[in-house]
Amino acid sequence: YELDVRTVADIGSGAGKFCVAAALAGRCYFTGLEQRPRLVTAARTLARFFKVDNRVCFVEGTLGDIAPPIADAYYLFNPFGENLFNQDDCIDDSVELSNERYVRDIAAMEDLLHRASVGTYVLTYNGFGGRVPYSYDEVRVARDLPKLLRMWRKTRSKQPTLASGRTIKDRPTEPVSLT
């Protein structure tokens, strides 16, 4: 628990690879949030196969439709980018995918980050399309990977304000690559 993180939520967990692999390597508890029922089933099977299902669970749903998982850290591997893909590049057509959905998902994630407790971490790989609130400080950046990996920590409960009293707007993580 180097960072005092005991619970991690993977938003858009897919088939559960991140949660299961991380559980095998560490002691944290993981929750994967995934919208596709068949991927949730596959993820649960994977966790049982590797005998980490006592520390890994998968929830079917989307941000904004169910209560978001509360965690010490959130992992975001461009979870909303599929909404912007060409239809041929999407996993399947079993869920709503649209520009409107993308905007809703980003807004829900930004709201979750605003409401998170001081001390919460956010790890983004290839961004998430939204803005990390200024109440978070960047802790680490890995630029030697195919895509940018960034870690942020919430250090303040409120957004900083300017001398004029206006709140500083959120900062972008990085442009999301669709390739």
| pLDDT recorded at residue 99 | 86
For residue 37, the 8-state DSSP code is H
| pLDDT recorded at residue 162 | 61
* Residues found in the chain: 179
Go through 118-127 and write b for each residue having 16 or more CB atoms within 10 A of its CB, e for each that does not: eebbbbbbbb
| pLDDT recorded at residue 166 | 58
Residue 71 pLDDT grade (very low, low, confident, very high; cuts 50, 70, 90): very high
Retrieve residue 171's tokens.
Answer: 């900062």
Contacts of residue 170, Cβ cutoff 8 Å, sequence gap at least 6: 110, 130, 131, 132, 133, 134, 159
pLDDT tens sequence across 86-102? 788 767 787 777 889 88
Tell me which of 10 and 173 has the higher pLDDT.
10
Amino acid at position 173, single letter: T
Q: Distance (Å, rounded) from C-alpha 122 to C-alpha 108?
A: 15
| pLDDT recorded at residue 97 | 77
Residue 165 pLDDT grade (very low, low, confident, very high; cuts 50, 70, 90): low
Which residues does residue 49 pair with via DSSP β-bridges, in sequence order?
Answer: none
What is the rounded average pLDDT for all residues in the chain?
Answer: 88
- The answer, yes or no, to whether residue 18 has pLDDT greater than 50, is yes
Q: 26-40, 93-107, 131-145: which range is least confident on average?
A: 93-107
Q: 45-59, 67-81, 95-109, 111-125: which range is least confident on average?
A: 95-109
The residue whose two tokens read 């957004």 is 159
| pLDDT recorded at residue 179 | 47
